Structure 1
Amino acid sequence: MVSDLAVLAARFAEALRGHGVAVGADRSACFAQALVAVDPQRAEEVYWCALATLVSTPDEIAVLDHVFDVVFGGGFDPADFRGDHPEGTLTAGAVTAGDGQAGEEREVRLSTVGSAAERLSSRDFAELTPDELALLREAMRRLRIATPVRRSRRKRTAAGGRRVDMRETLRQARRTGGEPAVLRRWVPREKPRRLVVLCDISGSMEAHARAMLQLLVCANLGAKAEVFTFATRLTRLTRVLARDPAEAMRRAGEEAPDWSGGTRIGAALREFLDTFGARGMARGAVVVIVSDGWETGDPAPLAAQMARLSRLAFRVVWVNPRTAQPGYRPLAGGMAAVWPYCDAVVAAHRLDALDDLLAAVG
C-alpha cells in the first residue's frame, strides 16, 4: 500500500509539473508523507493532501482542480467541498484524457502558472513593485535568522558538568537523610546573541530597505531583533515591526518621517552608539547595517564610529546591494571608510541571495 501511494504521489506531482506548477522534490515528498499519514480511502482525502502540500498560490488551485479531475476521471468536484475557486489564467496548453467512458476523449484547458516566489526570486528587489514584494512574504516566512550563541549567566543541571551544583546536591540529599549520595553538576546555559539591524531608508535604498524590513517581520520570530532606520535621523522601529507584515510596513513609514531622504550614516551611527549601543545593546551583538554607503558628510567621522562599533559588537555585517555588480570596488567615501571594520559584506539584493546574509549573521 505504501509503495502504491508513493507511485501515486510521484505521478500526480509529475502531472502538475507538466502543466506549469513548480512542484519540486520537497513538495512531492510532503505529498507522499501526507498520503501515508492519512491513508486515504476516498478521492477527496487525496485532494486535500494535494491541496495542503503541492500548491502555494491561489492561481495554482485552479490547475490542481483540473489535473485532479483529469486523473480521477471527473468523479470528484472540489467545489462541492470548499466552494468555487477563483478562475485562473487559462492558456492554450491542453491535454486529453479518458472521462471514464470507453472510446471517448475530452479536452481540458489548464492554467500554466509558476510559483510567484520562484518567478521573482532572481529579480532585484529594486525592480519589484510593492505588490510583487508582498508576494515574497510567504517565502520569507520560511527563512530563519539564527545568530551565534553565547554563554548565559544562568546555569542548568547536567551530568557531564565540571562544577558541582551545591544547592541542587543538598536539596537532593534531603531524600537520603542529609547524605549527598549523588553529586549534582551544572553547565552554563547558552542563548542566541542579540541581533541589531540599522537600515538605510534614503532614496537610493528605499526598495531594498522595504525588502529587508519585510524579511525581519517575516523571519524574526526567533531572533528578536532590535531594528532602527536612518536617513537624516535615527528611528527605532522594534515595537512597530512586531506586527503583521502589511501593517508593520505601513506603520514603519509613519514612524520614520525621513523615508527617502538624504543619508547621514556617521551621525546616525554615533546617535545609536551614544544612546543605545554603548549602554549594552551592541555589546556582544551581531550588528547588521543595510546601506549602499553613500555618505553625504565627511567619511572620517563614519570611520571613527565604525571603529567604536567593531570594538563593541561580536560581528558586523554590512548589506550593500551594489556589491552584486560585476567588478564592484569600495571606492565611494562611505564604503571605503567602513570596509576595514566589517566582518562580512553581502549583497542580499534578491530573494535567492538572502542565504548569504543568513550565513553571515550566523
Structure 2
Amino acid sequence: MARPHAAPGQRHGPPMLARNVTHFMRLLREAGFPLSPAHAADALQALQLVDIGRRDEVRAALAALVLSGPDQRPLFDAAFDLFWRDPDWEGKLRALLLPRVDAGAPPPRRSNRLADALAAQVPPGLRAPPEPGQAERFSAPLTFSDQERLAQRDFETLSAEEWRALRHLVRARRTRLAMQHTRRLRTAASGCRADVRASARLAVRQQGEWMRWKFRRRVERRPPLVLLLDISGSMSQYSRAVLYFCHALMQSRERLSVFLFGTRLTNITRSLRERDPDEAVEAISSHVRDWAGGTRIGAALASFNREWARRVLAGRATVLLVTDGLDHEHIDLLDSEMARLRRFAHRIIWLNPLLRFAGFTPRARGVQAILPHVDALRSAHNLDSLFALEALLTDDAGRAAVPHPPAAHAAPTHQEEPRPWK
C-alpha cells in the first residue's frame, strides 16, 4: 500500500512534546548536568505516568530523573521555568545575559551556565523570522579546528566570546590525575600477593580444608596538589584562566588546595567547591581584596610556610607556583622562603607565563631567587600549556620528566625546546 503524501507544512517525526522534552534534556546537559540520551527516553516514559496537565507533577518527575544533588536544584528550577513557561524565552535569555537594576535594587542572581546553554541550543523552529531588510544571524558551535586554535591563543588576547568558549572547553574536560601507590595493603579478591594469615584463618574455619587463597594489594590514593597563584595586576588574566582549570580539578575530586597571593595570602579552597565555575570565580574575585593589585611573593610564601605548609604539604605533595616572579622587594626573604618551601614539598613546579616569549632570560632578581629551588619550569599562557600539566602531574611521568634541582643560581632543565639562559 502506497504511503499517503504529507500535507503541506506537515512534518514527519516525533510529536511536539517529545521534541521539546528531548531539547530540554539537551539544554540541561549543555548547562553541566551529567545526562545521556537515555535520560530523554526515560523522561518521556515518566511523563506518561503523571498528569501532564499538572505543572508540579511534571516538574517533580523530571527532577527525579536528572537531579543528583541538592546543589543542582536552583539551576534546574531556573531552566524549567524559563523553558516551559514563557513562549518568549529568547527575550528571557537576553534578560539573563544583560541583567537590569530596577528601582535601585541589586540585580537578581543569574546563572551564566544556563545562559550559555540557551544561547548555544536555540532550536530553529523557535527562532523568530527575520524582519524584511534585516540580515539573519547564524550561530554554529566550535569545530575541532576552532577548539585547537582557541587552545593555542594567549589568555591576554582573548575576547569576551572567546573567554566563554574557553570556559566551556575547560568545564567539559574532566582531568584525572594518576593514582599513587602506597606501602599499605588491603584485602583484594585476586592478585599476585597472597595473604597467608587470612588464608590460614579461612582454612581453620573450614575444618582444615585449604579451599581458596586470600590476597592483598597495595592501597592507591590521589597525591595532594597545592596551588600558589599570583593575582597581581600583570597576572590577572592568567590567574582567572588557572582558576577555571582548578575548578575542573576540584570537580574531579582531586586533593587540591588553592591559595591566592598578591599583597597577602588567601585560602580559597572552600570557595572553589561551588558547582558553578562562574559563580565560584565571581565570589573569589569579590572576596579577595588584593585582586589585580601589587605583589609581595616573599611575604606571601612566608605566611604560607608558617601557617599552612605542615597541614597541606603532607603525603608527597606537589606545589604548583603560578607567578611571573617579578618581585623587586625583599629578595633575601624570597630566597630563604623558597628554600624552606623546597624542604616541605615533594616537588615544586613553576608555571611562568613569561615563557611564551622565545627570548625570555631570567634577569629579574625575583626570577633568579626562585629558579634554584624549583624542579621544573613550564609555561602557563594558553590552554594547551595547562592541559600539558596532566602528564606532568602523574607520578610516573612526573618522576621521569622532572629532574633534580640544579645547582644554585642555575636554570632548571626541562624537556621542551632549549632556551638561551644567561
Q: By the TM > 0.5 criterion, same fold?
A: yes
Q: Give matches, 1:255-274, under 5 Å.
A: 255-274=287-306
The alpha carbon displacement at 1:134 in A equals 3.1
Larger deviation, residues 125-134 vs 251-260: 125-134
Unaligned runs of 5+ in 2: 1-36, 42-115, 395-422
Equivalent residue number for residue 192 of structure 1: 222
Equivalent residue number for residue 92 of structure 2: none
1:208 equivalenced with 2:238 (yes/no): yes
The alpha carbon displacement at 1:296 in A equals 3.7
* C-alpha contact 2:318 2:347 (8 A) present in aligned 1: yes
The alpha carbon displacement at 1:291 in A equals 0.5
For residue 237 of structure 1, the aligned residue among 265, 268, 286 is 268
Q: Give matches, 1:83-162, under 5 Å.
A: 83-84=126-127, 111=138, 113=140, 115=142, 117-118=147-148, 120-129=150-159, 132-141=162-171, 142-147=173-178, 149-151=180-182, 153=184, 155-157=186-188, 159-162=190-193
The alpha carbon displacement at 1:163 in A equals 5.7
TM-score, reference length from structure 1: 0.65
Q: Given the superposition, is the C-alpha separation of residues 148 and 328 from structure 1 closer, same or farther in structure 2, using an over 3 Å criterion?
A: farther
Equivalent residue number for residue 318 of structure 1: 350
Q: Deviations over 1:176-195 (max 9, x none)?
A: 12555444231221112001
Q: Deviations over 1:265-298 (max 9, x none)?
A: 1221122122121245354111111100112422
1:253 equivalenced with 2:285 (yes/no): yes
Q: Give matches, 1:43-58, under 5 Å.
A: none
The alpha carbon displacement at 1:304 in A equals 2.1
**Higher strand residue share:** 1
Q: C-alpha separation between the residues in 1 aligned to 2:182 and 2:154?
A: 38
Partner amino acid for 1:317?
Answer: I
Q: Given the superposition, is the C-alpha separation of residues 221 and 59 from structure 1 closer, same or farther in structure 2, using an over 3 Å criterion?
A: closer
Unaligned runs of 5+ in 1: 1-33, 39-55, 66-77, 93-108
Identity of aligned residues (%): 35
Q: Give matches, 1:271-286, under 5 Å.
A: 271-286=303-318
The alpha carbon displacement at 1:143 in A equals 4.6
Q: C-alpha separation between the residues in 2 aligned to 1:162 and 1:230?
A: 47
For residue 387 of structure 2, the aligned residue among 355, 358, 362 is 355
Q: Give matches, 1:34-73, under 5 Å.
A: none
Q: C-alpha separation between the residues in 1 aligned to 2:223 and 2:147?
A: 30
SS across alignment from 1:177: coil
Partner amino acid for 1:329?
Answer: T
Q: C-alpha separation between the residues in 2 aligned to 1:85 and 1:145?
A: 43
Q: Deviations over 1:220-259 (max 9, x none)?
A: 3232311110011111111101111011001111332111
SS across alignment from 1:226: strand
For residue 336 of structure 2, the aligned residue among 300, 304, 307 is 304
The alpha carbon displacement at 1:84 in A equals 4.0
TM-score, reference length from structure 2: 0.57
* C-alpha contact 1:147 1:286 (8 A) present in aligned 2: no
Q: Deviations over 1:294-313 (max 9, x none)?
A: 12422222222222222332
Q: Given the superposition, is the C-alpha separation of residues 303 and 249 from structure 1 closer, same or farther in structure 2, using an over 3 Å criterion?
A: same
Q: C-alpha separation between the residues in 2 aligned to 1:130 and 1:86?
A: 27
* C-alpha contact 2:225 2:257 (8 A) present in aligned 1: yes
Equivalent residue number for residue 324 of structure 2: 292
Task: Give the aligned length.
Answer: 273
Q: C-alpha separation between the residues in 1 aligned to 2:353 and 2:388?
A: 12
Q: Given the superposition, is the C-alpha separation of residues 165 and 231 from structure 1 closer, same or farther in structure 2, using an over 3 Å criterion?
A: farther
Q: C-alpha separation between the residues in 2 aligned to 1:178 and 1:185?
A: 19
The alpha carbon displacement at 1:111 in A equals 3.8
Q: Given the superposition, is the C-alpha separation of residues 194 and 221 from structure 1 closer, same or farther in structure 2, using an over 3 Å criterion?
A: same
SS across alignment from 1:316: strand
The alpha carbon displacement at 1:132 in A equals 3.4
Q: C-alpha separation between the residues in 2 aligned to 1:230 and 1:241?
A: 16
Q: C-alpha separation between the residues in 1 aligned to 2:120 and 2:292?
A: 37
Q: C-alpha separation between the residues in 1 aligned to 2:128 and 2:318?
A: 46
Equivalent residue number for residue 106 of structure 2: none
* Cα RMSD (Å): 3.3
The alpha carbon displacement at 1:337 in A equals 1.3
SS across alignment from 1:197: strand
Partner amino acid for 2:244?
Answer: Q
SS across alignment from 2:281: helix
* C-alpha contact 1:235 1:255 (8 A) present in aligned 2: no
Q: C-alpha separation between the residues in 1 aligned to 2:301 and 2:370?
A: 12
SS across alignment from 2:359: coil
